[in-house]
Amino acid sequence: MTIGHSVDEQVENFARMKGINIADALALLGGKEFANSAQLGILNRLGGVGAGGANGVGANIARFAGGKTANTMLRFVPGLATATAALGAADIVAGNDSFGNKVMDAGAMGIGGIAGGMMGGPVGVAVGSSLGKGVSDATQAIFGGGKSSEERRMEEALIALRGGLI
């Protein structure tokens, strides 16, 4: 059992991406093909298409996964993933973070995009990039690196005004 896409599937995906046009991009963002294939993949991992007739929690999950609601929810994944990846890239380019933070964010988006691409094709790249940027931002927030120089100066000024008390 392989997790994600095999090497042959990846080669096929990259070959398809070379000849992509606007109609293909809009179809990808519409999510119909992604939702249908993801739904089938989920059902196969839960015991196959007919698993919804069994009893227990797995059967309930399989029935939900095979339903229209799950398909509709899955159709939003490509567009949301692409939007969050684009917003992350825009934050790197136009944000007021330090150069080091921008490098870390870009590196994390790149690593996440590569890992996501190996797991799920173009949608995986967008999801992985978004998750990489989120992890980078969280790391910077936890360790204090996510502040701009202006924010650090403001904090220092507030500490000075309070007489050194935080």
pLDDT value for 1: 47
The answer as to whether 81 is a domain residue is yes
The answer as to whether 2 is a domain residue is no
Report residue 97 as tokens.
């973070």
Q: What is the mean pLDDT of residues 99-115?
A: 91
- Structural domain range at position 82: 77-166
- Tokens 């403001």 locate to 154
The answer as to whether 34 is a domain residue is no
pLDDT value for 104: 92
pLDDT value for 55: 66
pLDDT value for 51: 55
Number of domains composing the chain: 1
Q: pLDDT for 15-35, tens place per residue?
A: 766 777 777 777 777 778 888
The answer as to whether 45 is a domain residue is no
Nearest CA among 137, 130, 123 for reference residue 86:
130
The answer as to whether 155 is a domain residue is yes
pTM of the model: 0.64
Q: pLDDT for 116-128, tens place per residue?
A: 888 877 888 999 9
